[in-house]
Amino acid sequence: MKLITTYYLIFIFLCAGYSSRSQDTLKSYFDEGKALEDAGALTDAYIFYERIAFEANDPLLVNMALMSKAAVLKRKGEYLKAQRSLERLNYAVLNDSMHFHARYETALCAYLSANYYDAISQFEQLNFYLHDSNLIIQTIPLQVLVYNEIQNWKHAKELLLIYKSNTRLSVAESLATDELISFYNKKHIPKLKKVKTAQWMSAFLPGAGQIYAGNIGEGLLNFTFTFASLGIAGIAFYYKYFFTGYFAGLALFQKFYFGSNKRVEYLVNKRNYLNTRAFNDEVKKQLIIILNK
Amino acid sequence: MSWFFLVIFGFLFSQISFAQNELDSNSHEEMAFINHWISIEEYSDAIYLIDHYKKENLPLFLRDSLNYLKGWSYYHLKELDSSLTYLDQVSPASAMYHKSSFFSAFNESYLGRPSRGLDKLSNSFCDSSYFSLRNFEMSGMHLLERDTISFLALAKDFNASHYQFAKEEKNLMEYYQQLNEFKDKSMFVAGMLSAIMPGSGKVYAGRLGDGISSFLITSSIAFVALENIRKDGLIDPKSIFFTGLFGVFYVGNIWGSVFSVQMQREEFNNEINHNILFDLHIPLRRIFF
């Protein structure tokens, strides 16, 4: 009997090293991660959370770790990594409110990392999987920002109207929302210029494309140079300097005429970008004021 | 009494074993965790973790694993110099040794140092199962060095029996043929031809479009200059301007023709090198993944 006891004791000692890390220990890791965050060691903190996600067996715990990691990455301004972290969540084990929170955060990180269509995909999945309209309504301000960025201002305005009619707003909030909706009018919504139109205009009247793109001075200068080179060619031909007229005058004309085609494309794109930015930034500013009221 | 000693012995043995197991288990967990970062394609974080791993008194297998993982992460970040620095430190005892040495040699070649790649492959230990791959990689590196004799000596063993690089063996032979058939043009001849007829030097260098365009521009300016000289004399400001302009274009064209030979040569070499490197890389990815 003594011998058996002894062998049991030895067996217990030998096996002690193989005990695995318990799930309770993993839970306590969150406190450690939080402490690292508080100490400002953000990289160590998100690595810590990833470790929990890596070691945990409980999918809920994995999700919690990935969400904590994403929050730290967001705090660090690494939005794309935060988005990728949230895309690894297991939605099957999340309740509706967590599901909403996870998708909203993913969409927000996608918006912040300029992956607008990824953000839209998250909104569409929210609409598909969750049927709680109160939750969906909360995503509208973010949706407005995303649709603004992809220049679908019509849909952004429709969303704002839905937001206003389905949300209990204070008088001040309601007035500010009305003001924002009224901002989506023909006067303010950027009128996107078309590159093709500008190029056609420049083809018929040199410099007109630049003026259409909003660069009046450059358009007038291009008009002057193009016709001056044509004038040089004309004068040269008149005085029977045929080669000079053809090669010097017309070559210059050709350079100014066709060169402006590329230039006009750049100017139109630049103008569209600046106009879009100005409008979207203003909406963002007003939206933040409404949400902070 | 003897039972007492047996228990004590068992306790001490288990503690030593426990400590050893814990070290192994912890380090395996750590390696798995670092690997996990690589699998989620967050290579900078994998490197961060390796940098913060306690490195004192590490057993060889762990040092090897860390060096391999760090080199591999740098490889994915396309920081090839750093990558090969760590891959080179993986010892022959490691399971990752062959992968590390092949990729290190490839990195050297990619960085324009095929001779170092060759040195690495010829001086490193190579298991017989990798002889054919080493032969193939070294032949490609000889071709990168334009050492066709050494290439042919190794290419004798190409037998298309390894599906992982049978096609690439054929490709290397084609590149060898192309290199043989490439006729190097003379910069002097190109310059002379362009001096006689503007643009012809570029046509000789194999740049037909450039040659025609140069001919048209230079001859147009020549006609303009001649017309002005004929009408207003040589001393007229317009004549001086256009003659000067012609001179600039004429000399510039000769200069350009000389360099177009060099450019043509560089473009050909770059394309061949790019193709060789591509064909050296593909089998490594096939075999070591």
The pLDDT, as a whole number, for residue B222 is 92
Chain B contact for A9 (CB, 8 A cutoff): yes
Angle at Cα B19 formed by Cα B17 and Cα B25, nearest 5°? 95
pLDDT reading at A18 higher than 50:
no
The Cα of A172 is separated from the nearest Cα of chain B by a number of Å equal to 46
Output the pTM of the full model: 0.78
User: pLDDT tens, B180-208?
Assistant: 999 888 999 999 999 999 999 999 998 89
Mutate which of A3, A51, A244, A255 to test chain B, going by most B C-beta atoms within 10 A? A244
Task: Spell out the domain ranges in chain B.
Answer: 187-274
Q: How many C-beta atoms surround the C-beta of residue A78 within 10 A?
A: 20
Read off the pLDDT band of A5 (50, 70, 90): very low
The maximal CA–CA distance of chain B, rounded, in angstroms, is 129
Q: Is A237 on the interface with B (CB under 8 A)?
A: no
Confidence of residue A9 (pLDDT cuts 50, 70, 90): very low
**Whole-number Å distance between alpha carbons of B175 and B267:** 14
Residue B178 pLDDT > 80 = yes
* Least confidently predicted of A142-151, A250-259, B160-169, B264-273: A250-259
Q: Report chain B residues whose CB lies below 8 A from the CB of A3.
A: 3
Spatial separation of the C-alpha atoms in residues A11 and A27, rounded to whole Å: 30
Token code pair at residue A112 = 């912040």
Residue B35 pLDDT > 70:
yes
pLDDT, tens digit, 9 for 90 and up, residues A178-233:
999 999 988 899 999 999 999 999 999 999 999 999 999 999 999 999 999 989 88
Average pLDDT for A38-67: 93
Contacts of A42 in chain B (CB under 8 A): none
Nearest CA in chain A to B47: A47
Which chain A residues contact residue B224 at CB under 8 A?
243-244, 247-248
Tell whether A30 is within 8 A of chain B (Cβ). Answer: no
Q: What is the pLDDT of residue B6?
A: 56
Do the beta carbons of residue A251 and residue A182 sit within 8 Å?
Answer: no
